[in-house]
Amino acid sequence: MRLIRVVQGALVAVSVITLAMVAANPGEGWAAGIVVGTLVVCPGLAIVLLLGLRDPMAVVSLAVATGLALNVGVAQLLVYGGLWSGRLGAAVLMGISLACALGPMVAQAVPGESRIGEGQGTPDGGGDAPLRRASPDVAPSSSGRAGAVAGEADWR
């Protein structure tokens, strides 16, 4: 939970920095790579974090896929809408990233607001539903049978 908040805070910072880099026209080299990576990952990650998933592999895969899909959607809207500009597209994507990362922080300040993953969460009040199989036919490794040593719930 705290980690998610930290990542959301980092997303806000990275989005703002990326916007500044795009405005400065980074060109060839590492700066260009960072901008591309940020535009692909950040919008999707900001959205996926709202789901409250705890499996890092799921979060990363969904974040990148969602980010790519948003890139496709925004780019096509600009092309078909006759508004083509790569920088405008980057601004829209970073706007999505900022809105989704800032949203929970704003919501937290407003009493009564809750995230998508809350409501049926773990007893410790974390609000994240545990990622265990609903099916009873899977034996947990803690019973002494072989299996993944750790991260069992996330990797099974």
The CA–CA distances, whole Å, from 89 to 17, 42, 59, 68 equal 16, 14, 24, 13
Q: By C-beta, is 65 or 106 nearer to another protein?
A: 65
Output 10 or 31, the one with its CB closest to another protein: 31
Cα radius of gyration rounded to whole Å, the chain: 19
Coil, helix or strand at residue 28: coil
Q: Given the complex with another protein, which of 110 and 146 has the nearer CB atom?
A: 146
Q: What letter does residue 141 receive in the DSSP assignment?
A: G
Q: Could you tell me the smallest distance in angstroms from the CB atom of residue 56 to another protein?
A: 9
- Nearest approach, Cβ of residue 65 and another protein (Å): 4
**Cβ closest to another protein, residue 5 vs residue 156:** 156
Provide, rounded to whole angstroms, the least separation between the CB of residue 82 and another protein: 7
Distance from C-alpha of 87 to C-alpha of 23, rounded to nearest angstrom: 7
- The residue type at 33: G
Least distance between another protein and beta carbon 111 (Å): 19
Phi–psi pair at 114, nearest 5 degrees: -140, 160
Which is closer to another protein, CB of 13 or CB of 72? 72
**Residue that has been written with the tokens 């994240």 in this structure:** 128
Burial profile 135-147: b = 16 or more Cβ within 10 angstroms, e = fewer: eeeeeeeeeeeee
Q: Shortest approach of another protein to residue 118 CB, angstroms?
A: 8
